[in-house]
Every structure is written in structure tokens, then in C-alpha cells.
Amino acid sequence: MKKLSFLMLSLLAVTMLTACGNNDEPVNKRTYSVAINNRIVDGDNVVFSQNASSIEIDFTDMTIQISSGYKDADGTSHTLITPAMKLTNTGGLIYHFNSSSSTTPIAGIDGTIDGYIDLSTITALYSFTTSDNDMVYSATQLIYSYVHTTITNPENNNNKNIDFSQYKFIINATGDKCTMLTTNFAPNLNGSIQATQVYWEDLKLEPTATGYIVTASVAASSMKGYYDITDLHITLDNHGHALNGEFKCGGLNFNLAGDMFPATLFTHHHQ
């Protein structure tokens, strides 16, 4: 099945912000079907689960409501239904949300849910504490739009810095594999984009207490013989907020460092 670029999804999401109904009335609510990936952390024990979920955005009241689920440290499944949480703009289309202003209790939750969403891509990330005092870190499939890529020729150390490549990690249902999808891929030292979209499947994924580790000794690309990569090691750290890593492609070294959301926009909220 042909995969849709997450840049196209971004444009679609922006279009939805201004969509109209049958009578030219503004569409006030949108419900997005997404996969939510959860890591529940109980000391050194990390339990992964993935749920078919929905995110409802009310563009009139600027609220978000999440219907999802997760597994606890013992592997027992739980349903998560949040109240409508106020969206607070932190810049651009990035919004912060927190359930503290709601008087509606959330089953199985001790305290509040706190998170962020990028309305241009519907990339959401949030966390909460269960009534058993375990931490749960949840996110949609992970898109990193704010990444600094340094490309280096190891033979002479000539390098090129670019900021236009984006990276998406599509996690499978069991949390042990993922696909890395890159847009605006420039495997050269002149900054020339060679592939508007390319992806590498079946990469090893390890959920950790602080995020995920993605590795591959060799990975074939979707471009049929072009842009195969080696020595891939990427850490999705700070509970999904940050990306750091490296890989090799076409005799060049790639070093990546960046964030899911602009770091300067959420520092004052960050946990």
C-alpha cells in the first residue's frame, strides 16, 4: 500500500483547521484516528503497549480530548478517556494541554495528564501517573520536525549542516520494530535534496525508561538500491521529546540532533 508523506498529512491537518461544513459553517470539531504508543515505567521495568486511539480537537473552545488505552506494569489493559483539556498556544501550531483545570476525574489516574500537540501534524505526546504510582509516557507515531543534520565526509572531514530534513518513526504493534521515514533527504555535501521521501523498514526498536533506541547494522531503503544505510543508532530520549543519533549512507556520516517540538517553546512547561 502506498504510504502518504507526513508532510502531506501536515498540509491536510492545516486544511482541517479552516474546513467548512455543508452550509459554509465552520467545522468546529475534528476527530483523528491515531495509534498511541505507551511506555509504562515501574522502576527498571518498562512495559510497551500500542492502542488504536482517537484525538478530538474542538477548534472553537480550543480543547483536546483523548480516548486511548495502555497496559500497566503487570500487563493488564486499561482504558483512558480524558475530559476536554484546554489547549494553550506556545507558538505556531504547537499547543500545551493539562487536565488540572478539569473537575472530571479520570479513571486510574493519580494527578493530571500533561502534554503537547503539534496541530500541523497531529503529533501528540503526554504523560501521567497511574493510581499504582507508575509513570506512563504516551505518544502518537513520532515526528521530529526540528532536527539539525550534519553530513560529513570521513576522508577529509568536509561537512554540511542542514535543517530541512524531517524524521518520522512508525512503531509496530509489539514495540520491537519501527520504520524510519525521512523527508527532504540530502545525501551529499551540497545540500541538494535527492529524495523528497525515503524510508527504511524493520529497524530494531528498544523501549527504555526514558524513550526508545533505534538500531540497525544494515537497512535497505525504499528506493530500491539507493540510499541504503549502515551503523544506525538513534536515541529518542527525554521521553520522546529529543532525537540524537547517527548513521552512514553513501560513504558519508550523518549526525542528527533535534526535538519533536521547538525546545524554546515548551521549556517553561517541560517536566
Q: Which of 188, 234, 229, 180 is nearest to 211 (CA)?
A: 234
Q: What is the pLDDT of residue 10?
A: 46
Secondary structure of 30-80 in the HEC alphabet?
A: EEEEEEEEEEEEECCEEEEEEEEEEEEEECCCCEEEEEEEEECCCCCEEEE
Q: What is the pLDDT of residue 268?
A: 39
> Going by C-beta distance under 8 Å and a sequence separation of 6 or more, which residues neighbour residue 163?
147, 148, 149
5 in Cβ contact with 166 (< 8 Å): no
Q: What are phi and psi of 3, to 5 degrees?
A: -95, 140
Q: What is the pTM of this model?
A: 0.87
pLDDT digits (tens, 9 = 90+) for 135-191: 999 999 999 999 999 999 999 999 999 999 999 999 999 999 999 999 999 999 999
Domains of the chain with bracketed CATH: 6-139 (2.40.128), 142-263 (2.40.128)
DSSP 3-state assignment of 231?
A: strand
Does the pLDDT of residue 13 top 50, yes or no? Answer: no
Q: What is d(CA 137, CA 205) in angstroms, rounded to the nearest whole number? A: 16
Chain centroid offset of residue 50 CA: 13
Does the pLDDT of residue 4 top 70, yes or no? Answer: no
In whole angstroms, how large is the CA radius of gyration of the chain?
19
| Mean of per-residue pLDDT scores for the chain | 89
Q: What is the pLDDT of residue 27?
A: 67
pLDDT digits (tens, 9 = 90+) for 72-121: 888 899 999 999 999 999 999 999 999 998 878 888 898 899 999 999 99
Instruction: With cut-offs at 50, 70 and 90, classify the pLDDT of residue 26.
Output: low
Q: What is d(CA 237, CA 216) in angstroms, rounded to the nearest whole number? A: 18
